Amino acid sequence: MTVSYDGTDFKGWQVQPGERTVQGELQAALGSIAGETPLPQGSGRTDAGVHALAQVASFALNAPVPAANLQRALNRILPPSIRILAVEAAPPEFHARHAAVAKTYEYRIFRGAICPPFVSRFVHVCRWPLNLQIMREAAESVMGSHDFISFAASDSDLSLRSRAASDGETGMTVRTIYLSRWEERESEAGSLLIYRVRGNGFLHHMVRNLVGTMLEIGRGQLPAGAMAGILKQRARSAAGPTAPARGLFLHSVEYEKP
Amino acid sequence: MTVSYDGTDFKGWQVQPGERTVQGELQAALGSIAGETPLPQGSGRTDAGVHALAQVASFALNAPVPAANLQRALNRILPPSIRILAVEAAPPEFHARHAAVAKTYEYRIFRGAICPPFVSRFVHVCRWPLNLQIMREAAESVMGSHDFISFAASDSDLSLRSRAASDGETGMTVRTIYLSRWEERESEAGSLLIYRVRGNGFLHHMVRNLVGTMLEIGRGQLPAGAMAGILKQRARSAAGPTAPARGLFLHSVEYEKP
Of B80, B114, B115, the CB nearest to A117: B80
- pLDDT tens by residue, A65-99: 999 999 999 999 999 999 999 999 999 999 999 99
User: pLDDT grade, residue B237 (50/70/90)?
Assistant: very high
Would you say residue B258 has pLDDT above 80? Answer: no
Of A6, A114, A116, the CB nearest to B117: A6
The pLDDT of residue B165: 63
- Is B80 close to A120, i.e. CB distance below 8 A? yes
A contacts of B5 (beta carbons < 8 Å): 117
Question: What is the pLDDT, as a whole number, of residue B30?
Answer: 97
> In the prediction, which pLDDT does B164 show?
63
Distances (CA, A) of B31 to A183, B60, B219: 41, 12, 49
For residue A153, give the nearest of A8, A12, A4, A2 by alpha carbon.
A12
CA A149 – CA A73 distance, rounded (Å): 42
Closest of B222, B216, B209, B221 to residue B149, by C-alpha: B209
- Catalytic amino acids of A? 47
Q: Is A76 on the interface with B (CB under 8 A)?
A: no
Size of interface A-B (CB pairs under 8 A): 48
pLDDT score of B119? 94
In this prediction, the answer to ipTM > 0.90 reads: no
* pLDDT tens column, B63-97: 999 999 999 999 999 999 999 999 999 999 999 99
pLDDT band at B257 (very low <50, low <70, confident <90, very high): confident
Q: Which of B38, B55, B59, B37 is nearest to B46 (CA)?
A: B55
CA angle at residue A244 from A240 to A249, to 5 degrees?
115
User: Would you tell me how many other CB atoms lie within 10 Å of the CB of residue A113?
Assistant: 12
Q: Which portions of chain A are predicted below pLDDT 70?
A: 156-170, 189, 258
Q: What is the mean pLDDT of residues B133-156?
A: 94
Amino acid A120: pLDDT: 95
* Cβ–Cβ below 8 Å for B115 and A4: no
Q: Can you state the angle between helices A22-34 and A67-77, rounded to 10 degrees?
A: 120
pLDDT the model gives residue A164: 63
Q: What is the 3-state secondary structure (H, E, C) of chain A?
A: CEEEECHHHCCCCCCCCCCCCHHHHHHHHHHHHHCCCCCCEECCCCCCCCEEEEEEEECCCCCCCCHHHHHHHHHHHCCCCEEEEECCCCCCCCCCCCCEEEEEEEEEEEECCCCCCCCHHHCEEECCCCCHHHHHHHHHCCCEEEECHHHCCCCCHHHHHHHHCCCCCCCCCEEEEEEEEEEEEEECCEEEEEEEEEECCCCCCHHHHHHHHHHHHHCCCCCCCHHHHHHHHCCHHHCCCCCCHHHEEEEEEEECCC
Rounded to a whole number, what is the largest CA-CA distance in chain B? 58
Q: Does A118 lie at the interface with B, CB-CB under 8 angstroms?
A: yes
**Region B203-231 average pLDDT:** 97
Calculate how close chain B gets to A7, using CA atoms only, in Å.
Answer: 9
| Nearest Cα residue to A192 out of A102, A103, A101, A130 | A130
Distance between CA atoms of B76 and B54, rounded to whole angstroms?
Answer: 19
Across the interface, whether the CB atoms of A6 and B51 are under 8 A apart is answered: no
Question: Is A8 touching B (CB cutoff 8 A)?
Answer: no
**Residue A182 to residue A108: CA distance in whole angstroms:** 10
Q: Number of helices and strands (H, E) in chain B?
A: 6, 10
**In the annotation, is B167 catalytic?**
no
Give me the amino acid identity at A116: P
How high is the pLDDT of residue B159?
Answer: 65
- Chain B positions touching A84 (Cβ under 8 A) are 114
How much is the average pLDDT of B167-172? 63
Q: Do A115 and B80 touch (CB under 8 A)?
A: yes
